[in-house]
Amino acid sequence: MGNEKSNKLELNELVQNERHDVDIVEKLMGSMGRWQVCICFALMLCKIPIAWHQLSVLIIAPPIASFCIDNVTDTCSPNCSDIVFDRSLFTETIQSQWNLVCNKSQLPHVSQTLVLLGVLIGNLVFGMIADKFGRRKPLIAAVVIQSVGSIAAAFVPWFWIFSVCRFIAALGTGGMIVTSFVLLIEIIGSKWRTHIAILFQIPFDLGQASLGLIGYFFRDWQQIQLVISIPPILLLSYYWILPESPRWLLLNKKAEDAIHVLRTAARFNKVQQHTIESDVGVYIRKRKNVIVQKGRFYDILRSRIMRTRTICLWCNCIASGFCLYGNSQYVGHLGGNMFVNIALSAIMQIPGTLSSVWFIQHFGLRYTLIVGNFATGCLFFLVALIPPHYNWVKVVFAIMVMYTMSVCFSTLYFSSGQLFPTIVRNVGVSTCLMTGRMGMMIAPFVVGLGLIKIWFPPAIFSTAAFIGAVSAYHLPKTRSVSLPETIEEVEGLTNELIERRA
């Protein structure tokens, strides 16, 4: 009996090694070369406008003082004949444009909620579309939608039409997020995947930091809207620059298209090309009897292993989006120079993003998330305990949270692509991004609880971070592991690992 089990384990090990050796995409075009560098750089550029459109509310709807024209009557009194806004910092905001004060003061937050809802829906819809029709075309379509919606928002004369235009632009933004990330993951070899996926966050942080500069030089919301909307039109060049994912092409038996992409990549990377056509032919013939199923939502919840993996990722995404976005608003309420605050909150995330690579390499993805979430929970707990008259200490701990949460967010952003097989990768990644947006949408309301009790927001954020740490314990390791192609491969690899531990 022992010999049979030993032979079985040896056979499984040989099969696993063979599967790794014949990662056809990595074999035929190289793990990382000039071709991948160029494509990665092009994809990273779209992260800057993604940050602009998600966070522009910080400078198009900043806090602005208002008072009655007679400077005596209460602003919200029916006896106030006209409302005057303080234009010393911004000449025009959406509040001053449409008199969003008193009973309309919450409308800027509603507009921003619609933006996050649009991003959420865009994540989900474009994720499913990209699994069925490829990564490249949906990404280009998302760029067009974002450009049209955002430019239109700068010229509409009514607030609700403005909000609808931003919602439409957010649909494109959500599509850009998920399709660009999945395409990036699928062209990078396993050795470099962690580094590149983590570094993919840096342009977003730079885009967020640049909002401070944009707000400093442009003080009218319409000018700001155009500044963040016109440059991304250059991303339409993706039509001529970006290839389709070779993994998606092979999975869908599009041999000629796959060969063309692989030849181009091999030529740029100076990898031998003479075996590409024959290797692709062999690969396709081996899979000719395999029925390619399109990714569906319930596939990521169908089996016990995938269900556990997905739910744990969802919990972490909610906690990450909830705490990171909530703390960004919390730091924004600290006073001082708002342009410096915007830039500082973004800059603090860059070292967290970079150091997450080191943490993953030395401690693994699972333990990085556990420790990062636990540290975030502890810091928020301290913020809740510190008395109000020690506000500067609260500020220090709140800024430290930006570091710890950026480590978790970057690590989580990478892991979602690694843990789902190709057949449902876009659906899986898009649902993770969707749950993260749900956390972000809840965060502003939690920050508002500070008006009731000052310790409510950090206490709730702390609890969410601790839940994220517990759920991260059940995630698998992903270092130097090839991307799984099917759900059956995920189940097989997990069962093999259980047998080895036994």
Residues 410 and 379 in one domain: yes
Q: How far apart are CA 102 and CA 43, in angstroms?
A: 43
| Average pLDDT for the chain | 81
Give the residue among 160, 158, 127 at the shortest CA–CA distance from 142. Answer: 127
Residue 41, pLDDT score: 93
**pLDDT surpasses 90 at 154:** yes
What is the domain extent for residue 134? 20-290
Burial status of residue 417 (CB atoms within 10 A of its CB: 0-12, 13-18, 19 or more): buried
Helices (H) and strands (E) in the chain, counts: 23, 2
Residue at 300: amino acid letter:
I
In a domain, 4, yes or no: no
pLDDT category, 6, cuts 50, 70, 90?
A: very low
Residues 286 and 411 in one domain: no
CA distances from 302 to 63, 316, 317, 391, 475 (A): 47, 20, 20, 49, 17
* Greater model confidence, 41 or 294: 41
Residue 492, pLDDT score: 61
Residues 212 and 354 in one domain: no
Residues 235 and 106 in one domain: yes
**pLDDT surpasses 80 at 72:** no
The stretch 3-30 carries a mean pLDDT of 51
Q: Name the DSSP class of 288.
A: T
The stretch 397-420 carries a mean pLDDT of 81
**pLDDT surpasses 90 at 300:** no
Residues 280 and 343 in one domain: no
Residue 502, pLDDT score: 40
Q: Which of 274, 290, 306 is the last residue of a domain?
A: 290
pLDDT category, 497, cuts 50, 70, 90?
A: very low
The stretch 361-386 carries a mean pLDDT of 87
Residue 14, pLDDT score: 34
Residue 176, pLDDT score: 93
Residue 295, pLDDT score: 62
pLDDT category, 5, cuts 50, 70, 90?
A: very low
Residue 415, pLDDT score: 65
| H or E element in which residue 67 lies | strand 66-68
The CA-based angle 184-190-193, given to 5 degrees, is: 40
324-336 b/e (C-beta count within 10 Å ≥ 16 → b): bbbbbbbbbeeee
CA distances from 465 to 203, 267, 294, 402, 459 (A): 25, 47, 34, 13, 10
CA 272 to chain CA centroid, Å, is: 36
Residue 99, pLDDT score: 87
Residue 230, pLDDT score: 93
* Greater model confidence, 232 or 335: 232
pLDDT category, 163, cuts 50, 70, 90?
A: very high
The CA-based angle 137-142-146, given to 5 degrees, is: 155
In a domain, 14, yes or no: no
Residue 284, pLDDT score: 74
φ, ψ of residue 84 to 5 degrees: the values are -115, 140
| H or E element in which residue 66 lies | strand 66-68
In a domain, 3, yes or no: no
Residue 493, pLDDT score: 55
pLDDT category, 147, cuts 50, 70, 90?
A: very high
**Which residue matches tokens 């100076």?**
270
Q: Which of 290, 313, 333 is the last residue of a domain?
A: 290
Residues 316 and 271 in one domain: no
Q: Name the DSSP class of 296.
A: -
The stretch 240-258 carries a mean pLDDT of 85
* Greater model confidence, 444 or 161: 161
Residue 379, pLDDT score: 92
Q: Which of 290, 306, 334 is the last residue of a domain?
A: 290
Residues 350 and 226 in one domain: no
Residue 337 token pair: 């120079």
**pLDDT surpasses 70 at 480:** no
pLDDT category, 50, cuts 50, 70, 90?
A: very high
* Greater model confidence, 35 or 361: 35
Residue 312 token pair: 């744990």
* Greater model confidence, 332 or 145: 145
In a domain, 5, yes or no: no
Residue range 88-106, pLDDT digits in tens: 889 999 988 998 888 887 7
Length of the chain equals 502
Burial status of residue 183 (CB atoms within 10 A of its CB: 0-12, 13-18, 19 or more): buried
Residues 284 and 306 in one domain: no
Report the DSSP beta bridge partners of residue 67: 84
Residue 13, pLDDT score: 39
The pTM of this model reads: 0.79
Q: How far apart are CA 30 and CA 497, in angstroms?
A: 28
φ, ψ of residue 334 to 5 degrees: the values are -80, -10
pLDDT category, 21, cuts 50, 70, 90?
A: very low
Q: How far apart are CA 137 and CA 139, in angstroms?
A: 5
Q: How far apart are CA 376 and CA 45, in angstroms?
A: 30
Residues 268 and 307 in one domain: no
In a domain, 466, yes or no: yes
Residue 67, pLDDT score: 85
Residue 221, pLDDT score: 93
Least confident interval from 141-150, 193-202, 318-327, 364-373: 193-202
CA 339 to chain CA centroid, Å, is: 24
| H or E element in which residue 364 lies | helix 349-385
Residue 334, pLDDT score: 64
Residues 388 and 415 in one domain: yes
Least confident interval from 260-264, 290-294, 450-454: 290-294
The stretch 267-283 carries a mean pLDDT of 77
pLDDT category, 490, cuts 50, 70, 90?
A: low
Q: Is 138 helix (H, G, I), strand (E, B) or coil?
A: helix
Least confident interval from 27-41, 107-121, 247-261, 292-306: 292-306
Residues 75 and 184 in one domain: yes
Dmax (CA) of the chain = 94
In a domain, 2, yes or no: no
Residue 15, pLDDT score: 38
Calculated CA dihedral for residues 441, 444, 446, 451, nearest 10 degrees: -160
Residues 307 and 274 in one domain: no
In a domain, 12, yes or no: no
Q: How far apart are CA 416 and CA 427, in angstroms?
A: 11
Percent of the chain with pLDDT over 70: 85
In a domain, 429, yes or no: yes
Burial status of residue 288 (CB atoms within 10 A of its CB: 0-12, 13-18, 19 or more): exposed
Residue 74, pLDDT score: 79
The stretch 40-52 carries a mean pLDDT of 93
Q: How far apart are CA 45 and CA 57, in angstroms?
A: 21
**Domains in the chain, number:** 2
Name, in order, each residue with C-beta under 8 angstroms of 322's C-beta and a sequence gap of 6 or more: 439, 440, 442, 443, 446, 461, 464
Cβ atoms of 245 and 187 within 8 Å: the answer is yes
CATH code of residue 174:
1.20.1250.20
